[in-house]
């Protein structure tokens, strides 16, 4: 069987008390053919921890960025972010984006910070990791205006419309599905997934959050990306092997430095 990749996880945020050491967590995933991991940075102060994980484990890569719900997002230190984005083992810029579900009052600040991330991604020639919630129009407009198509990237933990997904694909982005795809309430999202081209889809856990069915109520971890892959195979009408092969190839195409 072709290996799987968890394209978006927060290995620095896992509950080691219940899951065991990071070495154990990665070994558990690898025993199920989940063999590579993209560990996502959400703030500048936490980057060192994420970077050290990627440096210690050759199967782990990382990103540099500031999440839109972080306080420091409103005063992103562009110089510091640029330096982090140029670091060894960093293959992406983000997690960045817009979240109008939790923080609509800060829309202007979020848009300015997203623009900063897009510019830095172009400077270092690395793809973007985009978070977008209840901000379809503004997210797409900023990606177009900033020239994000020059580097492409991922709309991670996708929960938006088919129209947004196709527009993002036209800009050179990939659509990544998380454990939400397995939720009983996610019929509309599964319908979106069924319509997307297989060569533009990725899978992720976003762990420690969004634990998929049938593990709801338990800690999420990278090995659970298999459950996302299984549901994706069902909705696409293909085998699990085909999902593994396609999503792994897609990840390597977007991130050639991960090969």
Which whole number is the average pLDDT over 120-139?
Answer: 98
pLDDT average, residue stretch 154-172:
98
Output the pLDDT for position 243.
98
Q: For residue 49, what is the domain's CATH number?
A: 3.20.20.140
71's tokens: 């306080």
Task: Evaluate if residue 182 carries a pLDDT over 80.
Answer: yes
Mean pLDDT value across residues 114-141: 98
Query: How many domains is the chain built from?
Result: 1
Segment 7-19, tens digit of pLDDT: 999 999 999 999 9
Q: Of 42-46, 68-72, 124-128, 156-160, which range is least confident? A: 68-72
Please give the span between the terminal C-alpha atoms of the chain, in angstroms, as a whole number.
18
Report the predicted TM-score, pTM, of the whole model to 2 decimal places.
0.97
- How large is the C-alpha radius of gyration of the chain? 17
* Sequence-ordered strand ranges (E) for 120-161: 128-133, 153-155
Instruction: Report the chain's mean pLDDT, rounded to a whole number.
Output: 97
pLDDT the model gives residue 1: 58
d(CA 8, CA 246): 17
Q: What are the percentages of helix, strand and coil residues in the chain, rounded to 5?
A: 50, 15, 30
Task: Answer yes or no: is pLDDT of 120 > 80.
Answer: yes
Mean pLDDT value across residues 121-133: 98
Mean pLDDT of 33-50: 97
Per-residue pLDDT at 89 exceeds 90: yes
Determine the pLDDT at residue 246.
98
Buried b (16+ CB within 10 A) or exposed e, 199-222: ebbbbbbbbbebbbbeeeeebbbb
Q: What is the pLDDT of residue 74?
A: 72
**Average pLDDT score over residue span 159-165:** 97
Q: How far apart are CA 22 and CA 11, in angstroms?
A: 8
Print the domain residue range for 166: 4-258
């Amino acid at each position: 069987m072709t290996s799987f990749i968890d394209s978006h996880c927060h290995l620095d945020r896992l509950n080691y008390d219940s899951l065991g050491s990071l070495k154990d967590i990665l070994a558990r995933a690898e025993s199920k053919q989940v063999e590579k991991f993209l560990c996502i940075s959400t703030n500048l102060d936490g980057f060192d921890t994420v970077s050290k994980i990627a440096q210690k484990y050759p199967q782990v890569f990382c990103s540099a960025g500031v999440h839109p719900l972080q306080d420091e997002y409103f005063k992103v230190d562009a110089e510091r972010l640029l330096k982090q984005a140029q670091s060894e083992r960093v293959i992406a810029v983000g997690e960045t984006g817009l979240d109008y579900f939790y923080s609509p009052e800060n829309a202007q600040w979020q848009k300015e910070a997203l623009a900063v991330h897009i510019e830095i991604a172009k400077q270092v020639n690395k793809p973007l990791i985009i978070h977008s919630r209840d901000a379809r129009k503004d997210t797409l407009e900023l990606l177009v205006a900033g020239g994000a198509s020059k580097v492409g990237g991922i709309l991670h933990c996708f929960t938006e419309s088919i129209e947004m997904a196709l527009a993002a694909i036209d800009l050179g982005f990939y659509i990544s599905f998380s454990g939400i795809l397995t939720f009983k309430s996610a019929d509309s999202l599964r319908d979106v997934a069924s319509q997307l081209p297989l060569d533009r889809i990725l899978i992720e856990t976003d762990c420690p959050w969004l634990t998929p069915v049938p593990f709801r109520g338990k800690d999420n971890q990278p090995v659970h990306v298999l459950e996302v892959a299984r549901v994706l195979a069902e909705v696409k009408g293909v085998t699990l092997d085909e999902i593994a092969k396609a999503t792994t190839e897609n990840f390597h195409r977007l991130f050639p430095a991960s090969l």
